[in-house]
Amino acid sequence: MDTYYDVDLRLNVPVAMRDGVCLSTDIYLPRAEGPFPVVLIRTPYSNNVEDLIRKGRQWANRGYVCVAQDVRGRWDSDGEYRPFFDEAEDGYDTQQWIGAQPWSNGRIGMSGGSYLAAVQWLSAPLRSEYLKCLVPRVMCNNYFQELVFPGGAFHLNVAATWGMRTRARTAQSIDFHNWTEAFHTLPLTAMAEHLGDDVGFWSEWLDHPLEDAYWEPLDVTKQFDQIDVPVLEMTGWYDLYQRRAFDNFNGLRQSGQTAEARNPKLIVGPWPHLLNQCTCTGEVDFGARSLLDLDAIENEWFDYWLKEDSNSALDAAPLRLFIMGSNQWRNEQEWPLARTEWQDWYFHSAGNANTAIGDGTLSRQQPADEPPDHYIYDPQFPVRTLGGANCCSPHVVPWGPYDQRQIEMRSDVLCFTSPPLEDAVEVTGPIRVILYAQSDAPDTDWTAKLVDVRPDGCALNLCDFILRARYRESFTQPSLIDPATVYEYTIEVGNTANLFQPGHRIRVEISSSNFPRFDRNPNTGHAIGQDAELQAARQTIYHSPEYPSRMVLPVIPTPAH
């Protein structure tokens, strides 16, 4: 039986960084002779909140020192808060300080989700000799492409709601803002002022709409070869960063500096950004089976790497995936799965795929000479975000699977739907849309969504994404489009694991807005975020032998019975 320890506290201990700035640090110590292994948690959300206090005491009860630190410029820590930019060096300096303390045995693991995971990833490439393992939950590693400008569009809802809550030293309430009005503020650079406050990083981010040197320090995807510690990662199919969780997994497997780093573990459930706090995500109850004791799994990981206990932490499969539709967990070895059959599902119509009751169909058959589809994208009346991989205020913009039928009755949403399936089809892997499209605007957006349509007509979103036309070839050298040209666009829709049951239908939605998850493209071609002018665009989607628009599905063969 594990020893249970009483807890001693040392609160608001100042820890000096290399530039002399002191960060407020709370320390939870087992009441016994040390030294002990250490769990480090660094947060912008206050180290003096109930959940973190409870975790700190629990770690100390189990024979760990828990170090909980306010990041620079937040709460009781000194300095200026610049989201993400100081976390690599501050994390490393804190790890070095911990390693020199008499209560530390020189073995540190890091824990936490979202920003608390970002600080883990950012500091790991600096390779403190005391850092031994990570457990990052729900966080990306390329902040330009996933956090701020996903697909080249501005991540409006996240930047606004999360930004307003964290823009000052302490937490700020956002509950009384008129978000409908605020999200429509133009130009985007004026939105923080419209909300009555200054969000310094808001304008700074909008001033850097290219993946340039400004973002370079925050691109850990280029530093996987500098990470030398084992990583246990956790995310959900409806988390906004899950696309990049698989990039992290593959990046470490291919480039991690040590054998331990090249053996990451990844757990993916049917969860939103808060992970498995409930069996329900959005409008779907995935059942009791969907819940895992992630804290127990994390405990086992730390016991193995920090206490060097003999346990089964390394016996777990590299991937543990929840397959929606069948609502079963499954162990896998690689991503994408080696047995994947990549299937092209082509768009078809007689030119009237507008709305779910139009004539748009989806099939394995290549298109014949079919007329294109048209719709008007008017940024004054954008398609509303209804669920999906969102963050961080579900009362403002909901997350998870929702019935999309009200969205699919808009004339600016094209729906391509398969016949009812005779047999079950499992789709597990990255989803991609190859779209042949034309617009009469110099710039516009294209959105794609994969939907599971039940026999009763309920249309549940699985994954979706956006691509801003000017970024179709590069995030460093954007180029506007020629209205006379048909372009091929590749939309990386996201990852999913879903069993389409017999009688269900597979649907693809194509449109040009998903608001306020993403900002509206004003269709003018002007500088990002600076525009108060809006203009409507006439969009044309082709599906023909010359322009075979399609969705590429990773179909997993059903085992023979």
Looking up residue 33, the CATH number of its domain turns out to be 3.40.50.1820
Domain range for 483 is: 341-556
Residue 497 lies in a domain: yes
Using alpha carbons, select from 336, 344, 363 the residue that is nearest to residue 556. Answer: 336
Q: Is the peptide bond before 367 cis (omega within 30 degrees of 0)?
A: no
Instruction: Give CA 344 to chain center in angstroms.
Output: 26
Q: Which of these is catalytic: 76, 239, 443, 452? A: 239
**What percentage of the chain reaches a pLDDT higher than 70?**
99
Other beta carbons less than 10 A from residue 481's beta carbon: 20
141-182 pLDDT, tens per residue?
Answer: 999 999 999 999 999 999 988 888 887 788 787 777 888 898
3-state secondary structure 179-226: HHHHHCCCCHHHHHHHCCCCCHHHHHHHCCCCCCCCCHHHEHHHCHHH
Region of poorest pLDDT, from 114-123, 166-175, 248-257, 309-318: 166-175
Residue 149 lies in a domain: no
Q: Which of these is catalytic: 273, 348, 504, 543? A: 273
501-540 pLDDT, tens per residue?
Answer: 999 999 999 999 999 999 999 999 999 999 999 999 999 9
Name residue, tokens 């019935």.
Answer: 403
Residue 378 lies in a domain: yes
Q: How far, CA to CA in Å, does 46 sit from each of 52, 281, 415? A: 9, 27, 45
pLDDT at 240: 94
Residue 352 lies in a domain: yes
Average pLDDT of the segment spanning 106-110:
98
Residue 103 lies in a domain: yes
Q: Which of these is catalytic: 24, 104, 114, 512? A: 114
Model confidence, pTM: 0.96
Q: How confident is the model at residue 321 (pLDDT cuts 50, 70, 90)?
A: very high
Q: How confident is the model at residue 193 (pLDDT cuts 50, 70, 90)?
A: confident
CATH of the domain at 434: 2.60.120.260
Length of the chain: 561
Residue 230 lies in a domain: no
CA angle 287, 291, 297 (to 5 degrees): 160
pLDDT at 157: 93
DSSP assignment, residue 484?
A: T
pLDDT at 561: 37
Final residue in a domain of this structure, among 135, 166, 198:
135
Active site residue 203: no
Residue 209 lies in a domain: no
246-289 pLDDT, tens per residue?
Answer: 999 999 999 999 999 999 999 999 999 999 889 999 999 999 99
CA atoms of 245 and 497, how far apart (whole Å): 14
Final residue in a domain of this structure, among 135, 154, 181:
135
Count: domains in the chain: 2
Q: How confident is the model at residue 560 (pLDDT cuts 50, 70, 90)?
A: very low
Q: How confident is the model at residue 308 (pLDDT cuts 50, 70, 90)?
A: confident
373, containing H or E segment: strand 373-377
Residue 356 has pLDDT above 60, yes or no: yes
CA angle 123, 124, 125 (to 5 degrees): 95
Active site residue 175: no
Active site residue 114: yes
Residue 473 lies in a domain: yes
Final residue in a domain of this structure, among 135, 163, 186:
135
What is the dihedral sign for C-alpha 126, 127, 129, 133?
Answer: positive
Q: How far, CA to CA in Å, does 221 sit from each of 101, 129, 135, 218, 252? A: 32, 21, 17, 9, 9
Average pLDDT, the chain: 95
